[in-house]
Amino acid sequence: MKTHTATAIAHPNIAFIKYWGNRNTALRLPHTNSISANLRDLHTCTKVTFRDDLTADTLHINDQPAEDGALKRVSLFLDLVRTLAGINSNAEVISSNNFPMGAGIASSAAAFSALALAGSAATGLSLDEKALSRLARRGSGSASRSIPAGYVEWQAGSDDADSYAVSIADENHWALADCVAIINASHKIIGSSLGHTIADTSPFQEVRLQTAPQRLDECRQAILQKDFERLATVTELDSTMMHSVMMTSNPALFYWEPASISVMKEIPLLRAKGLAVCYTLDAGANVHVFCEASSKQKVHKLLAEFPGVQSVIDSEVGGPARLV
Ligand code: PMV
């Protein structure tokens, strides 16, 4: 029996300027660029072993056999790896996360970037960052952004070959932290793959896409110049614009819970009092509160005492996906 194995670690990322809606669903080509930061203290660790004696792919997540839907998605992704490598073997995939899945903490970004790296390395392929980012994108669009280090921009591109993410500044460039106020840690009902397919049904999507280049420029400049106020303004605007599209699509998607809104109202007040904080929400109720890493404990404590916040998970900005 021939076995080929590799293990990789990748971080989830959280977007300041969001990806919502595809130009090409099958290839996961987005309408616009997006900008994010990797979350150092959260990770997925995935081991892939291709074995000639397996009759089908297998998947374990956090020591449990995965449900059929997740296995099917992973198997389809492994088909891309098998095609690239020219092999037919099935794979055993063992994955674990140190954070809740499917609750707006981008578990699919960490999952598919770790799977792209471990899967390709296990076949003996040595893909460069661009090729890995393109491959990860096929599993989950935002996974393309978890391949490079630190602060990352996914360039929408025009086809499969030029849609990939690059680092705009490494993880040591600016010491920020994300304090995630967990408001609902259960698995979300409508996943982002389905959400992307209905984004264009919102009458607000067109204006969101048309104005995205300005927000992308603003965000990139704010990161490069470490200008927190500029980052805060554009990040909160972009998050609310994405959620406006979600709430006005058909069917309508409401991810916010009452406690999410309470936190969103409080953050700009704290900022006005001089605390560098801003919020952003993905496809879930949890509120990601960015702050300077030096005020992480203070922000954590403030959020933990907030009514409706179940717990707070902190992370500073992290590096690239890597083999272990
Ligand atoms: O990569 P996906 O298909 O899980 O989509 C991610 C969508 C958001 O998290 C809501 C926004 C983003 O840019 O990460």
Ligand 1: nearest atom to the Cα of 142:
1
Tokens of 318: 């992290």
Cα-to-centroid distance, 282 and ligand 1 (Å): 7
- Phi-psi region at 308: left, alpha or beta (left = phi > 0; alpha = psi -120 to 50): left
How many helices, marked H, and strands, marked E, lie in the chain? 8, 16
Ligand 1: nearest atom to the Cα of 106:
9
Cα-to-centroid distance, 111 and ligand 1 (Å): 13
Domain 176-316 - what CATH class?
Answer: alpha beta
Helix H segments across the chain? Answer: 68-85, 107-122, 129-139, 192-198, 205-225, 228-247, 258-272, 296-304
- Per-residue confidence at 186, pLDDT binned at 50, 70, 90? confident
Per-residue pLDDT reduced to its tens digit, 267-315: 999 999 999 999 999 999 999 999 999 999 999 999 999 999 999 999 9
Tokens of 217: 């420029």
Q: Which residues of 90-110 are buried (b: 16+ CB within 10 A; e: fewer)?
A: bbbbbbebebbbbbbbbbbbb
Cα-to-centroid distance, 104 and ligand 1 (Å): 9
Phi, psi (degrees; rounded to nearest 5) at 130: -65, -45
- Per-residue confidence at 107, pLDDT binned at 50, 70, 90? confident
Ligand 1: nearest atom to the Cα of 283:
10
Would you say residue 145 has pLDDT above 60? Answer: yes
User: Do residues 47 and 9 touch, judged by C-beta distance below 8 A?
Assistant: no
Per-residue pLDDT reduced to its tens digit, 34-82: 999 999 999 999 999 999 999 999 999 999 999 999 999 999 999 999 9
Domain parsing of the chain, residue ranges: 3-172, 176-316
**Fold equal for 3-172 and 176-316:** no
pLDDT at 99: 82
Report the residue among 11, 35, 113, 142 best suited for mutation to probe ligand 1: largest number of ligand atoms under 8 A from its CB. 142
Would you say residue 102 has pLDDT above 60? Answer: no
How many residues are listed for the chain in this entry? 324
| Shortest-distance Cα residue to atom 9 of ligand 1 | 282
Domain 3-172 - what CATH class?
Answer: alpha beta
Per-residue pLDDT reduced to its tens digit, 215-264: 999 999 999 999 999 999 999 999 999 999 999 999 999 999 999 999 99
Which residues form the pocket of ligand 1, taking CB atoms under 6 Å from any ligand atom?
Answer: 15, 18-20, 34, 106, 108-109, 140-142, 192-193, 196, 282-283
pLDDT at 184: 84
Per-residue pLDDT reduced to its tens digit, 164-177: 999 999 999 999 99
Name all contacts of 59-62 with Cβ < 8 Å and 24+ positions apart: 59/93, 59/94, 59/95, 60/93, 60/94, 60/95, 61/95, 61/96, 61/97, 61/101, 62/95, 62/96, 62/97
The verdict on pTM exceeding 0.85 is yes
Cα-to-centroid distance, 141 and ligand 1 (Å): 7
Ligand 1: nearest atom to the Cα of 193:
3
pLDDT at 166: 98
Tokens of 243: 């959620």
Ligand 1: nearest atom to the Cα of 282:
10
- Per-residue confidence at 104, pLDDT binned at 50, 70, 90? low
Distance CA 277, CA 58 (A): 42
